[in-house]
Structure 1
Amino acid sequence: MLFNTRGIVFQKVSYSESSIIVKIYTEEFGLRSFIVRGVKNKRSSFKQAYFQPLTLLDLVVSNKENKNIHNIKEVKVSYAYRAVFADPVKQSILFFLNEILLKTIKEETPDKSLFEWLFHALSWLDLTDKSVVNYHLVFLFQLSRFLGFYPKISGMKARYFDLQEGLFQTDRPEHPSYVSGDLIFPLTELRMATFENSSGLHIGNENRRKILHILVSYYQMHLPNIGRIKSLEVLENMMS
């Protein structure tokens, strides 16, 4: 049976001289692996450009629950990026987000709220004329909602961010995995920010770099299997 679904490409790997396997986060089924046969041939009706990381697609696919690899019958671009690949900063953000998503989203069950948020977040990054220097930080906070460890706030005057508990609190934690000092205010601002208002947050480059490392460490603490984020250094260099 064939199904219509939107999808977001997470990964493309070569399978043979003419074929590839792609991991796509689909709206209807969650994360799925698909084989695309003959895509490297010049006469193929499928273009390899369709399967670049974080491309937004409309798909007609087969989906058999007892199979690990499925087939794509039809594909077209659902939203074509206009500016991301012409802007080095946006491009480095996209590569960073791709690695984060590939390492954190493993569910083979649909989450339409997560899919809709991702689709909006990626298209917004492409379309906006506003500064995106804080975008990736807001993205990490918002993604943590769907992953189950969005930080909570205890008390009106939080002075510490407990990374283990995912809690902004007034009392110092009894372990070393916490943040305090002048980073608490921008962290709480970013926690509540939207993509639309994030450009108005006044965070210096050095504090922005520190916060990025804090959030990556926070993810690694709550999702130990994600390992080192290889694209982090490239993103930092572009932001400096």
Structure 2
Amino acid sequence: MLCKTRGIVLHSIPYNDKYSIIYMYTEAFGRASYLVARSRGKKSSVSKALFMPLSVVEMEVEHLNKRDLHRIRETKLCYPLTELFCNPVKNVLALFLSEVLFRVVKETEPDSRLFEYLYESIQLLELSDKGVANFHLVFLLRLLYYMGIYPNADSYVAGSCFDMLNGVFVEHIPMHRHYLNREESVVFARLLKISFENMSLYSFSRQDRVNVISRILEYYRLHLPDFPEIKSLSVMQSLFD
């Protein structure tokens, strides 16, 4: 079946000497995998250069439900991502976020709300010139909405601790070890108010930023099965040394 859809590149791996597998989150099919030739002629309608992490492309695809790998007939960028590919900070952020999405977004059913969130967020990363160091924090926290595991921010009161296992602020220290102490919980409650619009107003020391992102990823790990260590995390953190 031939179909047109928009897609966001999550990851690519070599398949053999001639082909790569491109993992994408598509508007029409949810997560899908495509076989793309690694070396094509100048006149090819499918350029591998379009499949950089977080590239947003419009495609005509051959999609058969019984197949694990599908074919792309034609593709073009939905919008240029010059900053994402040329700005070293944004490039590493794109690598980090695409790796997280590759591990998190597993559904093979379409989700228009999630797709629009990702689509618009990538545009914002391309265009943002303030608060970029906090972009990934906003992105990962907002993504929790679409994963159905967003914390109960309204449960915070002064002096409470954040119970990471149950996603709520509690008055007493939980009986398990997965919680934030009272000082960390103050920071986390404040962080839950961050947005793409106000992210430039938030400032963190390097150590605070390392702690915040590691705690957010710990929360993902507690609530999503098989969520692994993110390999590009150390590369991203080195940007802010």
Same fold (TM over 0.5): yes
Per-residue Cα deviation, 1:34-74 (whole angstroms, up to 9, x for no partner): 1124x413343322111122110001112221221111111
Please tell me whether residue 13 in structure 1 is matched to residue 20 in structure 2. Answer: no
Residue 127 of structure 1 deviates from its aligned partner by 0.5
Tell me if the contact between 1:186 and 1:203 (Cα under 8 Å) persists in the aligned partners: no
Count of matched residue positions in the alignment of Structure 1 and Structure 2: 239
Per-residue deviation, residues 119-171 of structure 1 (Å, max 9, x unmatched): 11111011111121211111111111111211113253362111111112232
Residue in structure 2 matched with residue 213 of structure 1 by the alignment: 214
In structure 2, the partner of 1:111 is 111
Q: CA deviation at 1:17?
A: 2.6
Query: Are 1:235 and 2:231 matched, yes or no?
Result: no
Does the CA contact (< 8 Å) of 2:46 and 2:72 recur in 1? Answer: no
CA distance 1:165–1:124, change in 2 (3 Å): same
User: What RMSD over aligned residues (CA atoms) do the two structures have, in Å?
Assistant: 1.6
Identity %: 35
Equivalent pair of 1:5/1:27 in contact (CA under 8 Å): yes
SS in 2 for 1:126: helix
One-letter amino acid of the structure 2 residue matched with residue 159 of structure 1: S
For the structure 1 residues 180 and 52, does the alpha-carbon distance in structure 2 shift closer, same or farther, using more than 3 Å as the test?
A: same
Aligned to 1:175: 176
- After superposition, residues 23-102 of structure 1 pair within 5 angstroms as 23-37=23-37, 39-43=38-42, 44-102=44-102
The verdict on how the C-alpha distance between 1:200 and 1:64 changes in structure 2, with shifts beyond 3 A counting, is same
1: CA distance between counterparts of 2:170 and 2:159?
4
Q: Confirm or deny: 8 A CA contact 1:82 1:127 kept in the other structure.
A: no
Contact 2:163 2:170 in 1 (8 A): yes
Structure 1 stretches of at least 4 aligned residues deviating more than 6 Å after TM superposition: none
| TM-score normalised by L of structure 2 | 0.93
* Consecutive unaligned residues in structure 1, runs of 5 or more: none
Within 5 Å, give how 1:80-159 maps onto structure 2: 80-153=80-153, 154-157=155-158, 159=160
